[in-house]
Amino acid sequence: MREPQDAGIDETDRPRGRAGVPARLKKRADFVKAAKGARAHAPSFSLQAIRRKNEGEFGPARFGFTVTKKVGGSVVRNRVRRRLKEALRLAPDLSARPGYDYVIVGRQAALSQEFAALREALAQAVAEIHASAGGARARAPRPAKPHRPPVCASTSLKKD
């Protein structure tokens, strides 16, 4: 019987993850939190980002990907996701900050956009998020709704 090739390797000696691949968001709660943060838009994706508060400032930047069913069937959605993941991995001068979570929401245009332009758009979107007010979402407060008294239908329906 053959012995496994890695029988002499201790589990701690094994490399973790692939080189160049950023940390991933996997929990739904992290995606929901990022949706409340700053946003940057490009023709092929939207980028959402928020600073983590509970995990320490120096944790690595984490990225999550989502593509809705509006984009197409599962084959199309997976192609969009794979293109965006590879663009992130190869993006030049990506200024992602430690302690931030980023969610990339893919669009149909990610399939037809030139790959070099996709990488540049991703790098530009990350820079844009951190350039705008320290990454906080700038949103004007909504005006309060005027108070309307309830309509009483019983008085108009009475018959004498």
Residue 141 within any structural domain of the chain:
no
- At 16 the pLDDT is 40
Give the Å distances, CA to CA, from 12 to 9, 15, 16. Answer: 8, 8, 9
At 138, list the tokens: 């700038």
Q: Name the residue range of residue 78's domain.
A: 21-134
Q: CA nearest 42: which of 132, 135, 123?
A: 123
Number of separate domains in the chain: 1
Q: End-to-end distance of the chain based on CA atoms, in angstroms?
A: 100
Residue 75 within any structural domain of the chain:
yes
Residue 48 within any structural domain of the chain:
yes
Residues 82 and 79: their CA atoms lie apart, in Å, by 5
Residue 100 within any structural domain of the chain:
yes
Is pTM beyond 0.75? Reply is no
- At 138 the pLDDT is 45
- At 13 the pLDDT is 38
Q: What is the dihedral of CA 36, 37, 41, 46, to 10 degrees?
A: -60
pLDDT tens for the chain, 160 residues long, are: 455 554 544 444 333 445 566 788 889 998 999 899 999 999 999 999 998 887 555 688 899 999 999 999 999 999 999 999 999 988 767 888 888 899 999 999 999 999 999 999 999 999 999 887 554 444 445 566 677 776 766 655 556 5
Residue 107 within any structural domain of the chain:
yes
Residue 49 within any structural domain of the chain:
yes
CATH number at residue 124: 3.30.230.10
Strand, coil or helix: what is 39?
Answer: strand
Q: CA nearest 71: which of 104, 105, 47?
A: 105
